[in-house]
Amino acid sequence: MNEVKKYTAQIRDVQFGTGVTVVEPVNLYECEIGSDVFVGPFVEIQKGVKIGDRTRIQSHTFICELVTIGSDCFIAHGVMFTNDLFKDGGPSGNDKSKWSSTEIGNHVSIGSNVTMLPVSVCDHVVIGAGAVVTKNITQPGVYVGNPAKKIR
C-alpha cells in the first residue's frame, strides 16, 4: 500500500498587523499582512507576499509568491494570481529564476474569478469579474475582458 502524505490548512510564520480578521480554513505562511485586513476562508497566501492595510481578500483566492498588494484594496472571490508565464513552453516548477512578480497598487478592486498574470497595476483601478490581466495597467480606470482592456 502506498504511503499518503497528509497536510492540514495552517497559519505559519505570518507577520500580522493589528485588527486582522482571518476566517479558517486558510493556508497563510511566511507572508506579511497589514493592519485591519480581512482574509476569508479557503484562501492561500504564500511566502513573501505582502498585503497592505485595510485590504479585503474574499474566499477561494490564491495569492502566490512574488505578489504585493497595496492598501485599501478589495480582492473578490476566486481571484488567481500567477507567477509563472511558462516561458519555456511548460511550468517552470521550482526554478524561481523563471518566475515574475506582481505589484498591485492602492485602492484597487479585483472582481470575482479574475486571473492575474505577473503584472503591475497602478492605484485606483477596478478590474471586472472574469477578466484576465495580461499586461501592466498604468492608468486608473475600469478594465474588463480577456485580455483586460480599459473601458472607462
CB 101 within 8 A of CB 119: no
From CA 51, how far away is CA 45, in angstroms rounded?
Answer: 9
Position 6 scores a pLDDT of 80
Position 86 scores a pLDDT of 84
Which is catalytic among the residues 60, 77, 107, 124?
77
Which has the closest alpha carbon to 115: 68, 39, 63, 50?
Answer: 63
Task: Render pLDDT for 66-98 as a digit per residue (tens, 0 to 9).
Answer: 999 999 999 999 999 999 888 888 888 888 888
Domain 11-150 bears CATH identifier 3.40.50.300:
no
CB 39 within 8 A of CB 33: yes
For the question of residue 77 being annotated catalytic, the response is yes
From CA 69, how far away is CA 135, in angstroms rounded?
Answer: 17
Domain residue extents for the chain: 11-150
Cis peptide leading into residue 147 (ω within 30°) = yes
Residue 60 CB neighbours (<10 A): 16
Position 1 scores a pLDDT of 66
Q: How many CA atoms lie within 13 A of 27 on its CB side?
A: 13
From CA 107, how far away is CA 129, in angstroms rounded?
Answer: 17
C-alpha cell at 125: 483601478
Task: Render pLDDT for 37-71 as a digit per residue (tens, 0 to 9).
Answer: 999 999 999 999 999 999 999 999 999 999 999 99
Contacts of 19 (CB under 8 A, 6+ apart): 35, 36
